[in-house]
């Protein structure tokens, strides 16, 4: 039997039960090979080293604090960025610059599915939907 076939026959309830290059498919309770870039996933541990599971696919990991990286609060992001939800993930996004479209949905920014950052420092969103200088 090949190494892959042997691992597919291993029952598991956590990743440590599987060998190197495998993760536990918790739905089926079996060890499965780690997934390559672009493949479907549900969590980081299902992707090969250097990839993260974001938006349901294995993608190249983005360094902390950079645009598109995971975050929990604004201070996790670099300068002129905020932590905002995008397709169910909280990621670092750029604050709105002068001339970019801005709006506040009914209920406020916290109630939108795909959030936008507030305007960059020194700018304010006015009724015409464009950031303006204070």
100 token code pair:
């970019």
pLDDT of residue 88: 84
Spatial separation of the C-alpha atoms in residues 1 and 91, rounded to whole Å: 43
Tell me if 84 is assigned to some domain: yes
Tell me if 65 is assigned to some domain: no
Q: Are residues 79 and 127 in the same domain?
A: yes
Distance, C-alpha 127 to centroid of its chain? 31
DSSP 44-111: GGGBPTTEEEETTEEEEPPPTTSTT-B-SSGGGS-TTEEEEEETTEEEEEEPBPTTS-----TT-GGG
Q: Are residues 51 and 86 in the same domain?
A: no
Q: Are residues 79 and 129 in the same domain?
A: yes
CATH of the domain at 14: 3.30.40
Q: How many domains does the chain have?
A: 2
Tell me if 66 is assigned to some domain: no
* Nearest of 88, 81, 53 to residue 67 by alpha carbon: 81
- Tell me the per-residue pLDDT of 58-70, one tens digit each, with 9 for 90 and over: 999 999 999 999 9
CATH of the domain at 125: 2.10.80.10
Whether the model clears a pTM of 0.85, i.e. scores above it, the answer is no
Spatial separation of the C-alpha atoms in residues 37 and 115, rounded to whole Å: 26
Low-confidence ranges of the chain (pLDDT < 50): 1-2
Range of the domain at 112: 74-133
């Amino acid at each position: 039997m090949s190494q892959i076939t042997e691992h597919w026959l291993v029952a598991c309830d956590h990743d440590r039960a599987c060998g190197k290059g495998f993760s536990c498919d918790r739905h089926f309770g079996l060890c499965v090979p780690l997934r390559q870039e672009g493949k479907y996933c549900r969590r980081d541990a299902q992707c090969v080293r250097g990839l993260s599971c974001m938006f349901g696919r294995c993608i190249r990991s983005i360094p902390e604090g950079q645009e598109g990286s995971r975050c929990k609060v604004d201070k996790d992001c670099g300068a002129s960025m905020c932590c905002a939800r995008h397709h169910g993930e909280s990621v670092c996004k750029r604050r709105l610059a002068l001339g970019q479209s801005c709006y506040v949905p009914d209920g406020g920014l916290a109630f939108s599915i795909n959030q936008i950052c507030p305007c960059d420092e020194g700018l304010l969103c006015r009724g015409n939907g464009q950031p303006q200088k204070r």
